[in-house]
Structure 1
């Protein structure tokens, strides 16, 4: 091989493609499934049915009562299914508190009664002795049939009936079974049954998806929005119902958040309805209110790009910092991009700050963000935000990203092994890494692999494959490949030239 063709061993990086705003909104939580005629749709986010179920030790007929109608005196159902699990109401906790005289009085305990006898009987006398009489609510002075702030005997009966129906009802299970089997007409009927019986939010969400995608029924965005509004407009307790975001499981969301994100996507894309970015912004805000911290990152992107709101760096940074503090790795990565001035349309007002950029990339990398891992490695490699380059530390992060399939990291790590910098020289490993990156369409890796193939480094010499990879690298904009390609072409035998041509233009498959 002549000296005019040399490996292009730069640990290059590919600039981010931008905010990827539309994709960020829909990819993780409200993706549209395109279904083939007669076939099942693409996988949708799983909706898990939650609720009280018998575990063998708990009587499923027992209802835990609320003390009052916290939300509104207009809804008897405020007292139905009166509370979720609370450690303060746990039998073991209560027994402990009784033993140590920690209860002011018996009324501090949550009331429990059987849905078989909401007014109490011998079976439930010990846990229902404090219930209101059937004719009057002693605590509020209201009649049993009058809705009030305090839950009345009528509310207890309503809750008992609801609990009884819920533990007998199988409509939701049947609906999901039918949906997974591709029987969308049956699924829709069962979801509607569950909604009418008990107002399952999961049923309303799935009915919205069925209408939006036209599964077993004509597609109707209008009807889908109506079902989604049933979910997001339901009564909401900001203490009990707000999601506790878990950064280790960021996709664990509830139906209310999922509905809000789906509404945002519908209005952002204008799917079956006029495009309304301001409405998308509104529903991202709702998702954040419901406890989905990554929605703050979406709101920040909106402020940086002017989609649905005015361009304003100050709230964008505030949203990103809050989301990052809550553990959203995308927010930390984006803060790194902003302070590193990486965005194609860098917003004004954010100074170049390599120390901050490195800190944010490092925090996101530590939390497992792939792109941030590469960026943190690259900054250490180049000595950005550090007193001097730190190749040993960079290699650790490059390896982490490379093992997870990051093409730029694979190319960068390969150059270390090729040159023997900070690691022992190993042509075999370098060639394997270049090939892995080349197969992911990394132009520099394609050219570097072509050089190693042409020179027989790290494996057999293969001029035809070298020419093919060099040609593809040139087509992707690598200037070194453009210079080397004629040199390689002149060295090919007729057989090698034919084989290279076959690689670049494979014969069509026979039908």
Structure 2
């Protein structure tokens, strides 16, 4: 045991192979590189407006309401240019200053109680404010918004205000009553053509909930969402790095179609089609789809291997605030990819900058990677263990197993922190419980030697066996020495730890 029974310092280990799921992305982002100078904060500015007090609830502003707007009327949806009154910043300004319902603003407005004008609208105008209130367009459309278009939009809005199909559908879905949920979603679709209803019907048919599983029918419903009329200004998702998993129905449908084709869920596996749907999701404004496309060009899965295009996708996503893109860029320049593409030179300073940018968003793998670079002095004149400890701790307290193992080693040796064997043992225990092989061996050593707590040879043997099974080389060498010290009772307890009895299933389960 003397030669092997010592916890070792954090070793250079292979980079982690995978990225977290895209709906578990980090919270905010900073972009940085060795050539870009000081890091600049990336983020989305949110303006929260308020409705003016005493506003008539039946009065609808077209630029504010998705249901009652030109885009929901047949001939006037795309027949004119952009109006400043349709801009979200303009609307926020109007709301903040209580001007939203003032006759002086430019947005078209009318009441769904009387789209051609009534007493309510007459109080603030003459029925319907013209779409071109800001002045004639230099090239007026061949067809404009006729009275029938306004009646159509008003009627749709009236139905939407009264209909409860979607509320009932989601309530039934959450209660597990999928038959009722499917029927109510179909009602919502029939009445309003609601995208959320079509999306949920696609999911129900894909999973076989409330209806026999059918991938073709699921795809047909999802296509209803992605093929619906699309306004690239109003319908495009505005990516917020502070809420990176937020999607709309159109983005979610495109991502689900990509997943269906990539995994071959009930259909022929088609990585190229998956890539095409990922491109669609990116076009709809979902920035993390660019990270998926970069990975596709790195791996050659559904796309030709192309490091230059991969970098373009990843850099665009990283600049927009996607933490996974920043982390992946760090790995590329750190040469930590399982299949490192040609043409990307090792650049430790740039790798560290990308890791650091992703770490500042809370990305745990990036935090650990940045800590290891500081610990080993990569890209630096000398190692910086004090700075490494700070980052190790930041990742360790959030459950990152490799960071817990590394931080435990610092406490074990008293490097950069006061020596504390009890804390080291607890950290090794936490990392071992997350299947970290080196932590399993280090914990086994401390248990066998009684460091940081009582001696427990049975637990030491069990953890050493688990470390050996996961390929830790020192565990295999230390195992015979621990086994030789076991009493028959300790060996029986070690076997029980390694092979716990299976609990019988509860009746009716």
What's the TM-score once normalised by structure 1's chain length? 0.84
Residue in structure 2 matched with residue 9 of structure 1 by the alignment: 8
Change beyond 3 A, Cα 1:58–1:272: farther
- 1:110 aligned partner: 107
- Equivalent residue number for residue 90 of structure 2: 88
SS at match of 1:492: coil
Secondary structure of 1:118's aligned partner: coil
Q: How far does residue 73 in structure 1 lie from its aligned partner after superposition?
A: 9.2
Instruction: Say which is worse superposed, 118-127 or 360-369, in terms of deviation.
Output: 118-127
Shift of 1:498: 2.4
Partner residue of 1:433 out of 427, 433, 443: 427
Give the SS at the match of 1:384: coil
Q: 1:286 aligns with which of 273, 280, 286?
A: 280
Secondary structure at the residue paired with 2:119?
A: coil
Structure 2 unaligned segments of length 5 or more: list them: 26-49, 131-135
The structure-2 alpha-carbon separation of the partners of 1:242 and 1:380, relative to structure 1 and needing over 3 Å to count, comes to same
Do residues 211 (structure 1) and 205 (structure 2) align? yes
Question: CA RMSD, aligned part only?
Answer: 3.1
| Partner of residue 298 from structure 2, selected from 298, 304, 320 | 304
Aligned residues: 465
Deviation at 1:97, TM superposition (A): 12
Q: CA contact under 8 A between 1:12 and 1:408: conserved in structure 2?
A: no
Deviation at 1:461, TM superposition (A): 1.1
Contact 1:72 1:78 (C-alpha < 8 Å) held by counterparts: no
C-alpha change, 1:243 and 1:510, in structure 2 (3 Å) is: closer
| Matches for 1:17-416 after TM superposition, within 5 Å | 17-19=16-18, 24=21, 57-65=54-62, 75=75, 86-89=88-91, 90=94, 93=97, 95=99, 109-129=106-126, 131=128, 149-416=143-410
Q: CA deviation at 1:71?
A: 7.1
Given that residues 300 and 320 in structure 1 are in contact (C-alpha distance below 8 angstroms), is that contact kept between their aligned partners in structure 2?
Answer: yes
- Measured after TM superposition, the shift of residue 493 of structure 1 is 2.3
Query: Which whole-Å CA distance do the structure 2 matches of 1:121 and 1:505 have between them?
Result: 78
246-255 or 118-127, which deviates more: 118-127
Question: 2 CA distance for matches of 1:72 and 1:255?
Answer: 17
- Name whichever of 10-19 and 442-451 sits farther off: 10-19
Shift of 1:150: 2.3
Distance 1:24 1:310 in 2: 23
CA distance in 2 between counterparts of 1:467 and 1:96 reads 72
Give deviations 1:376-422, integer Å, cap 9, x for gaps: 00010000011100000000000011111111111111111111111
Greater relative contact order (CA < 8 Å, ≥ 6 in sequence): 2
Q: In structure 1, the residue corresponding to 2:120 is in which secondary structure?
A: coil
Residue 95 of structure 1, CA deviation: 4.5
Q: Which runs of 5+ in 1 are unaligned?
A: 29-52, 99-105, 134-138, 141-146
Conserved 8 A contact 1:454-1:462: yes
The match for 1:36 is none
Please report how far the alpha carbon of residue 233 of structure 1 lies from its aligned counterpart in structure 2 after TM superposition. Answer: 1.1
Q: CA deviation at 1:111?
A: 2.8
Q: Distance in 2 between matches of 1:258 and 1:397?
A: 34
Which range moved further: 212-221 or 123-132? 123-132
